Structure 1
Amino acid sequence: MEQIKQIKQYADKLRLTKLRNNADKMVHQAQIDSPSYLEYTHELLYQEILQRRKNDYERRLKMARLPKSHDLDQYDFNFANGITRPQLKELRELLWMEQNYNVILMGPSGTGKTFLAAGLIYQAITSGYKAYFMTMEDIINTIKMKEMVSSALATYNRLLKAHLIAIDDIMLMPIKKHEAVAFFNLINQLHEQCSIIITTNKSPKQWAENLDDEVLTSALLDRILYRCEVIKLSGSSYRMENRQTIFKEEKS
């Protein structure tokens, strides 16, 4: 039908994705239901809004770069001590983000730091925020490459506009002096503009050893700890307790 074809063309020019992809179905349903002009117009616009919300959510979720496991409903309190159910519930409500509070998750490997950080990023995304999950290595590589590679610059600019950023395994490995300065500049720009979640197996006092600069470390911690909740996790390693094997158990 020529009119349906034109509707799809108009919808495409106006970026009305839902109408462009479902014009036949929507017109057919309207012929059955016989809504008023007002009802039909309202439904068209409503469906388009829903589609745009869905597209925006999927785009933000993809850009977040979340690890595979990030469902906080599956958090196992038996393998980590340091956070209670009420505290996790309060963190998931994200009210702390309104005051640009930071969160440091500190503890040995396998106690759920990364899982908690990724879960809170996912919670923020589902709540409509721009949130990203990156390792310290990702951050440093982005900083180093942003002047040479357009994709790295785009990533860096997205970070500057974020509501929440998780930096995983901060200070795990030593970094060069110029990289440390560039990292500080990023944190300084984000200070009081964006909330930051940090996972680390080292206390902030040990960061100076990695940065090899006590003054720079002090300035960095000053900005991160100004409004910050430090959560110290302990317990056995979830990964080691649930270690997988490629070998089948021998039958007796």
Structure 2
Amino acid sequence: MMSKTWLITGISSGFGMALAHQLLEQGEIVIGTVRKENAKVKELEAKFPNTLDVQHLDVTNVDEIRSVVENTVEKRNKIDVLINNAGYGLFGAAEELSDGDIDQIMATNLTGSIQMIRAVLPYMRTQQNGRIIQISSYGGQVAYPGNSMYHATKFGIEGFCESVAQEVAPFNIKVSIIEPGGARTEFRYGSAHVANLMPEYDNTPTHAFLKMLDPANGLAPGDPEKMATRIIEVANSDKAPLHVVLGSQALFATIDRLTERLNEYKGETEIAASTDVKD
């Protein structure tokens, strides 16, 4: 079977590193983007010099995004799978966040993912096939206090992907949104950004995330290696589910919230109908 070409953003740690390593072990070709190379990336490059191509990319820079995609197609002739993985968590109440905090997470998690997808679509459309795997979170369906801007980016990218999935289906391009629960990655225990906290929110649900970010209080239940395996299986599946939740706690929380939301809407039948034009 011919190797596929996988373009994965953010391979320096977490899901990106796990995905890249597993795919390379399977003989696949990986174009992995990083903002900064680290020892783990260099070790992977040394082990897979012919099938790993590390590209420096800041996903907030649209010109760099287009350049990486163009270089990949020029060198490899195709992009079979895009895995939009780059992103980070931002914690704090809405009024604790700075303007810079808001601008940066929107540019990284939302606009960066949108522009990556837009950049690969012309090539996948020409190929008449392709897979787009968007790493979201169950936080794209379930919101908690102290995470407002993170949720804004994840709810936003899910809406974008649901629309794009319908636009590109005629060209045999399939889209899947991955919604992991908490996992034992640097997302919680290293790369998480915390706002300038205000004492007014101490001892309220908003600052409950501080307990979650401290490994001494217990680690997240998700295994990133197992999650990476499931993501690869989804990317290789002909079924291409639109939403894939990873983690039992995440699935139960999602079902509970969607059930609550559905019941809310069902209770609004009269008020909705009251605004219709009566002929």
Q: Same fold (TM over 0.5)?
A: no
Specify which structure has the higher proportion of strand. Answer: 2
Larger Rg: 1
Structure number with greater CO (CA < 8 Å, separation at least 6) is 1
